[in-house]
Structure 1
Amino acid sequence: MTDTDSTVSTARTADEQRRIVRERYAAIATDSSGCCDEGGTDGRATDEMARKLGYDDGEIGDVAGDANLGLGCGNPQAIADLEEGETVLDLGSGAGFDCFLAADAVGPQGRVVGVDMTPEMVEKARENAAENDADHVSFRLGEIEHLPVADGTVDVVISNCVVNLSPDKPQVFREAFRALRPGGRIAISDVVQTAEFPPEITRDPESLAACVAGASTVDALETMLEEAGFEAIDIRPKDDSDEFVREWADDYDPSDYLVSASIEARKPN
């Protein structure tokens, strides 16, 4: 751990944190009992949540099956500027929604790889890949701190509200840097901490798994990215994200402590 990581990491071991997150998302994959959404897997509810996150009706309608779980805190497609033929890596790919949208953008000559540490999510994503005829999309089981991807083989790394769940965020960015080709870039939607969490939130496993207690500050994220080797770092909070962030907990308002943001950076040529 480093001083730049979230304070939640000091309250529990990395293995404990991963177990909490894995169990939560396994339940979402198998029981469809959503987190960070507003009503489980009801199609209308997840579609409405996707709109709040920044996806348009065309993107929502383009993906078949139940890849859209109503999860996330933004739309990485909106900042990724994907081009035909590129190779895309999605950190924490879930049921595959962002992967399938990326596959449309990069075309059949491109490639998309999704990595998720939850076996149930990987299985669900592979089923969705078959339903979407996405032959150039693959899903791999693995931790985002230890990516099952070769060095220098990726053009773009995307992620949607997953890095905050990691117990070792600096290692996530080092791994993303390793996987990227020279000149490659990251385009991540995630949450950033805007106020200090009270102890009851940092100790609460539900707050961790619900994309709250693991958030880092903008300054801390900039330091992590710089130390990993990235340049052209641009972290932009989204002031209107309180519309959906406040729905992530019942007994307090998470938007008092965090906001969604777009995180972009580039690996030097």
Structure 2
Amino acid sequence: MPETGDTTGLDAETQRQVVRERYADIATGDGDGGCCTDDSCCDDSSVSTPADETARQYGYSADEIDRVDGDANLGLGCGNPQALAALSPGETVLDLGSGAGFDCFLAAREVGETGDVIGVDMTPEMVEKARENARENDAGNVSVRLGEIEHLPVADERVDVIISNCVVNLSPNKAQVFHEANRVLRPGGRLAISDVVQTAPMPEGVEADPDSVASCVAGASRIDRLEQLLTDAGFEAVESTPKSDSDRFVREWDDDRDVSEFLVSASITARKPEVTDE
């Protein structure tokens, strides 16, 4: 499947490079933030606080935030996929673009010792950070793998649920992401992601701006396009629900413009069909 840079004005390799560099800097404490509300939200030197407040804005409860030890919560994302996934004990969960592991560790508590969670991230620094956080959280049922979400290091029909938090928009080939998601899901498995979607034409220059691409702005697709990509990948029961109150944090993602004028966070769910006997 060809890689075109999808909805951005950058070629696929350049897009991957700017995204990887941005999140490597965040992982090592050198970055100025990703999909978050201000420059301090990803500062893991503070004990409580901007990142926690950002997570609350995204829809995480105080209990969920308190459950995770260490600096797994970097204040990144645009929603709470845990609220969509309805996880059950014993399930296998895959987190696309797992970052420092925050959603992985929350999922691990829901699936319990009989379940397991796989995180995949293309940034080595993030993978290292997530593995350190896994040890701190005693999360023996979490494994974090280095890889691209367009080429998942996961076997066919291995997982029950796929979650993701504001990551698919960063991909230069969203169609391939959803085909890979379908491949690794078991029949009847489900996808539950939070991501940003485009609601109006973007201002001139945004789609080709590397900073806008890496900060979860330029790569957003329209809802109808995402739904079609999911359907084309073999999913059914596709539903997308924009979050009307997301403008309160989305507008903070760019110092030069109010991106909430053309961007909104959305909850996106879908299911892989069951196998039917003919």
How many residues are matched?
Answer: 267
**What 5-or-longer segments of structure 2 have no aligned partner?**
none
Is the counterpart of residue 68 in structure 1 residue 66 in structure 2? no
Among residues 234, 246, 256, which one is paired with 2:251 in the alignment?
246
Is the counterpart of residue 106 in structure 1 residue 104 in structure 2? no
Q: Is the 8 A contact 1:4 1:224 kept in 2?
A: no
CA deviations on 1:44-84 (whole Å, 9 max, x unpaired) are 10000000000000000000000000000000000100000
Amino acid at match of 2:49: R
Q: Is the 8 A contact 1:88 1:111 kept in 2?
A: yes
Q: Is the 8 A contact 2:4 2:11 kept in 1?
A: no
Cα RMSD (Å) = 1.5
1:181 aligned partner: 186
**What 5-or-longer segments of structure 1 have no aligned partner?**
none
Q: How far 1:32 moved relative to its partner? A: 5.2
How far apart are the structure 2 equivalents of 1:238 and 1:4? 29
1:264 aligned partner: 269
TM-score, structure 2 length as denominator?
Answer: 0.93
Q: Is the 8 A contact 2:4 2:173 kept in 1?
A: no
3-state secondary structure, aligned to 1:244: helix
Q: How far 1:2 moved relative to its partner? A: 7.7
Is the counterpart of residue 59 in structure 1 residue 58 in structure 2? no
Is the counterpart of residue 84 in structure 1 residue 83 in structure 2? no
2:51 aligned partner: 46
Aligned ranges 1:1-269 → 2 under 5 Å = 6-8=6-8, 11-31=9-29, 33=31, 34-37=33-36, 38=38, 39=40, 40-41=42-43, 42=46, 43-269=48-274
CA deviations on 1:139-188 (whole Å, 9 max, x unpaired) are 00000000000000100000000000000000000000000000000000
TM-score, structure 1 length as denominator?
Answer: 0.97
% same residue: 67
Q: Is the 8 A contact 2:5 2:15 kept in 1?
A: no
Which is richer in helix?
1
Q: Is the 8 A contact 1:5 1:220 kept in 2?
A: no
Q: Is the 8 A contact 1:4 1:223 kept in 2?
A: no
Q: How far 1:196 moved relative to its partner? A: 0.8
